[in-house]
Structure 1
Amino acid sequence: MALSRALHFVFKVGDRSKTATFYRDVLGMKILRHEEFEEGCKATCNGPYDGKWSKTMVGFGPEDDHFAAELTYNYGVGEYRLGNDFLGLTLQSSQAVSNAKRLGWPLTEVGKALYLAEAPGGYRIYLVDKEQPPNDPVQKVCLAVSDLQKSTHYWSSLLGMKVIERHEEKTVLMGFADTQLADLEALMTKENQKILTPLVSLDTPGKATVEVVILADPDAHEICFVGDEAFRQLSQMDPSGNALLDKAMAEDKSDDWFAKHNKQKASA
C-alpha cells in the first residue's frame, strides 16, 4: 500500500506576473513545472471553465518529498472572489521574511517571530521568522470548518488521516496515513459521501496519465487523491519550468492590460 501524503494546495490566480514575483522572489520557491492546456480539465482541475488555462507548480524542492502550491490561471479571468474557507499556509523561512522586507512586500507581525504576508488574490501566507529547515519549510495548511467534530471524523475515519494535535476543541492538526484510490472511492460510496469526480484518468500532453478521485468534505472543500506511481513520473522537476512560465506570461500580455487599466479584470 502506498504512503499517502499532502501534495498540493490549489490557488486560482488572476495576475500571473505578481503571483510569480511573490512565490519566486519573496517566498523563495522554485518553479517545479509549468504546463499549458488548450481546454478545461475533465476533472475541473481549473474550476468551472472550459477555455485555455495553465498550471504552475511551485515549491522548495521536488514534489516527491516537498509540498507544492499549484497556481492555476484561466486565460481571460483576472480576479476571483475570495471565500472564508482558506485560513492560511504556514512556512518557516527567515529568508522569506528578509526578502519581503527588501522588496517592500507588506508584512504584518501577528505573533512572536510570526508574520503574515498576503499573496496576490488575498491568500494568507504565514512566515515563521526562523532559519529555513533542511527539509520542507511548509508546515501546514489551515482550513475553516463549520463543525469540527464532523470534519475530524470525515478526515480521520474516512480519509485515513491521523490526528497529531488538538487545541482546546477549536483546532485539530492532522496528517495522512495510507490509502488506495479504488478502496477510497468504494468507502465513500458506501458511506454516502459526496464524490465530485469518480475515479478517472487524466492526460497531460507528453507526460504520464494519472488516476484521480475528487471528493468533497462536509464543508465542500475539494480533495483530490492522485495515484502514486504515475504521479511520481508526472511530477518530475522540469528545468525549463521558469522559462516556460516567463514565455507564457510574455505571450499573454496581461501585464500590459493591468498596467493600462490599473485594475484586474472581473471574473467570468
Structure 2
Amino acid sequence: MGTKPHPCRNLHWVFKVGDRTATTRFYRDALLLEPLRHEEFTEGCAAACNGPYDGKWSKTMIGYGDEDTNFVLELTYNYGVKSYQLGNDFDSITICSKRVYDNIKAKGVGKAGPDGALEVAAPDGYRFRVLSQEPSEGACPMTELRLHVSDLDKSLAFWSGFLGFAAERPAPGQALLRCGPQQCALRLVELPKEEALERGTAFGRVAFACPGEQLQPLEAEVRAAGYTVHTPYVSLDTPGKATVQVVILQDPDGHEICFVGEAGFTDLSRRDPAAGRLLDEAVAADDSAAWFRKRAEAEARMAANGV
C-alpha cells in the first residue's frame, strides 16, 4: 500500500447513549471524566456520526484531558431514542488511574476482575476495566480499547498489513495494535468459532487523525484492495466551529474506523470551558429524567397488575 495513514493519532471511541441523565452522571461521578465540548445538531450527520438516524442529536466529548493529547469518549445522543441493543463487538475500555479506582471502590459500583482490575458498566451496558495504577509517562489514562473480531488473521491483515499499525501477539487469539507511541492501544480479541460477531444497534466507532491530504488516496486504495468504504471523503461542518475532512472505513468485521484530517480536527477539538454547562442545560431542556421516571412508573404498574 502506498498511503498508510501517518503520522496517525488515536482520538476517541463513540458510544450511543439512551438515558443521557444517568449516563453523564456515571461518567462524571464514577469514572471522574470531564466534559470537554458539547454540541447540539438539528439533523443527522452526513457521516452517520450519530448512527443511522436523521433527527436531532447531540455530541459530548468527555475525557481526562484535552483531545490533542488524550484518548477520549464521544457520547452521541439521539433525541427520542431511549435505548440500543448491545452486540458483542465492543468488549471494554481499560483505564489506568488510582484515583478512579479508589473512587469506584468507595462507591461500591465495581466488581473484581482479572489482573486486579475493577470492572464497571455504564448505564447503557458499556464495560470498563479500571486498574489501580498510573499509565506510563505521557500516556492517557485510557490505555486500551478492546474489540472482538471473528477471525484474527483477517483482522491483522487489514489493521497491520494494510493500515500499517504496529502489532504484537500478547496471548493466543489476541493482538495489540498501536498507531503511535503513548497512545491508547487497540486490542483485538478473537471470539470462539461458534460465536458469531453481532453489532446490535449500539455499535460504536473508533476515530484516528492523520494528515488531511492522505484521506482521498487512502479511500482509493481501500477500494482497490477490496475493503469497504463506509463513508466516502466528505467535509463536515460544525456550526460556529471548524470544518473537518473525513473518510470512514470498515474492517472485515464491520467495525467502523473514522479517519479525520488532523488540522481541521485540532481546530474543532479545542476544549470549551462551557462544555459542562451546555451539557447540563441540554439535559434539563430535554427533560429525559422525567421520561425515564414515567416509564419506570408505568412498568411498575403493569407488573403490579400482572401484565
Paired residue type of 1:128: L
| CA positional deviation for 1:133 | 6.0
Distance change >3 Å, CA 162–CA 112, structure 1 → 2: closer
| CA positional deviation for 1:28 | 1.2
Aligned to 1:232: 266
Worse overlay, 182-191 or 45-54: 182-191
Aligned to 1:220: 254
Aligned to 1:169: 172
1:34 paired to 2:58: no
Cα distance per residue 1:102-151 (max 9 Å; x no partner): 334x2110124211010121111000122466641011100000100000
Identity of aligned residues (%): 50
Instruction: Quote the RMSD (CA, aligned, Å).
Output: 1.9
Distance change >3 Å, CA 112–CA 172, structure 1 → 2: closer
Cα distance per residue 1:72-117 (max 9 Å; x no partner): 000011100000000100011122122223334x211012421101
Distance change >3 Å, CA 194–CA 170, structure 1 → 2: same
Confirm or deny: 8 A CA contact 2:134 2:141 kept in the other structure: no
Output the CA distance in 1 between the equivalents of 2:254 and 2:297: 30
Paired residue type of 1:19: T
Confirm or deny: 8 A CA contact 2:233 2:247 kept in the other structure: yes
Output the CA distance in 2 between the equivalents of 1:91 and 1:74: 27
Output the CA distance in 1 between the equivalents of 2:93 and 2:53: 26
| CA positional deviation for 1:183 | 2.3
Confirm or deny: 8 A CA contact 1:196 1:216 kept in the other structure: yes
Paired residue type of 1:227: G
Which of 7, 12, 15 does residue 11 from structure 2 map onto? Answer: 7
Confirm or deny: 8 A CA contact 2:231 2:248 kept in the other structure: yes
Output the CA distance in 2 between the equivalents of 1:58 and 1:247: 16
1:111 paired to 2:145: no
Structure 1 consecutive aligned stretches of length 4 or more whose deviation exceeds 6 Å: none
Confirm or deny: 8 A CA contact 1:159 1:184 kept in the other structure: no
Paired residue type of 1:204: T
| CA positional deviation for 1:264 | 11
SS in 2 for 1:262: helix
